[in-house]
């Protein structure tokens, strides 16, 4: 399934969408990047599968999941990012956009917007505090705040079905997202940062309790697993603790 290129071009030229222009330019129209995404996610996603993209941002992972033949439920609270998803994938009935944050319970939560860099906007006030003054995070400012609907993964599963893969990328809110999940799925990933390693370690504990036994990690946008063979929880926890601060961020994959 191809995305709506005319809609993408329109967004790129719209001054009102300027906060996401950098993301649109980076994530869309790069054939080499697309091929790397597809090769990477093919180990988790296949034709006819259902995938949950939690923290979908402007939807580049949606594009990969659709090219692999999967249906996608994309959870994203930011209005401008939602607009991008809905316009870029307009007419694709196999992409469902959910305007919400995934959390531990139904209700509403505060959402903190970094208007100059929306990719690090978050529902975690702890993440905002951890970034304040941290090396590599200088100049990042969360300058807007609004209330947004919160839903749980369990409730989304009940509405849309059980996915083959769940991608969670929510800037420090990963533990709260996982607290709203009470069952295992074949595979999931969660992002972590070196400014909040303890969150990642607690997430490891949570997913282990859900039945996940094997783990791997990909740093940044490398689309490459660090370990040649999947490892256990303790080895993964040790690896996260020992990463240099400059490693910044990555995604832990669980199966």
Q: Which of 165, 86, 85, 179 is nearest to 124 (CA)?
A: 179
pLDDT in the model for residue 109 = 97
- Residues 242-255 have a mean pLDDT of 97
DSSP state of 228: S
Taking the C-alpha atoms of residue 24 and residue 12, their distance in angstroms, rounded to an integer, is 7
What pLDDT digit, counting tens, does each position of 50-100 carry?
A: 999 999 999 999 999 999 999 999 999 999 999 999 999 999 999 999 999
What is the predicted pLDDT for the residue at 1? 61
Query: Residues 112-139: pLDDT tens digits?
Result: 999 999 999 999 999 999 999 999 999 9
pLDDT at position 152 over 90: yes
pLDDT score of 3: 81
Quote the mean pLDDT of the chain. Answer: 95
In whole angstroms, give the CA distance from residue 127 to residue 30: 30
Residue 29 — pLDDT band, cuts 50, 70, 90?
confident
Mean pLDDT, residues 197-210: 97
Q: Is the pLDDT of residue 17 over 70?
A: yes
pTM above threshold 0.75: yes
Question: What is the pLDDT, as a whole number, of residue 105?
Answer: 97
Question: Could you tell me where the DSSP H helices lie in the chain?
Answer: 5-13, 21-27, 31-41, 60-67, 79-88, 125-131, 153-160, 174-179, 197-209, 233-242
């Amino acid at each position: 399934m191809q995305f709506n290129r005319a809609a993408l071009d329109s967004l790129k030229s719209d001054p009102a969408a300027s906060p996401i222009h950098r993301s649109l330019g980076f994530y869309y129209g790069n054939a080499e990047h697309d091929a790397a995404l597809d090769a990477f996610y093919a180990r988790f996603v296949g034709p006819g599968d259902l995938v949950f993209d939690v923290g979908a941002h402007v939807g580049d992972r949606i594009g990969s999941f659709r090219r692999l033949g999967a249906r996608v439920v994309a959870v994203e609270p930011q209005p401008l990012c939602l607009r991008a998803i809905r316009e870029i994938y307009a007419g694709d009935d196999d992409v469902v956009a959910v305007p919400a944050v995934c959390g531990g319970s139904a209700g509403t939560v505060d959402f903190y917007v970094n208007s100059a860099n929306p990719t690090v906007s978050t529902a975690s006030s702890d993440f905002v505090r951890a970034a304040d003054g941290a090396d590599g995070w200088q100049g990042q400012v969360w300058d807007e705040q609004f209330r947004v609907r919160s839903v749980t993964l369990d409730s989304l599963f009940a509405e849309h079905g059980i996915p083959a893969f769940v991608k969670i990328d929510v800037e420090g809110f990963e533990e709260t997202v996982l607290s709203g999940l009470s069952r295992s799925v074949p595979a999931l990933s969660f992002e972590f940062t070196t400014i909040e390693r303890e969150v990642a370690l607690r997430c490891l504990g949570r997913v282990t309790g859900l039945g996940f036994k094997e783990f791997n990690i990909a740093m940044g946008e490398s689309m490459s697993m660090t370990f040649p063979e999947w490892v256990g929880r303790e080895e993964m926890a040790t690896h996260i603790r020992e990463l240099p601060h400059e490693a910044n961020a990555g995604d832990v994959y669980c199966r």
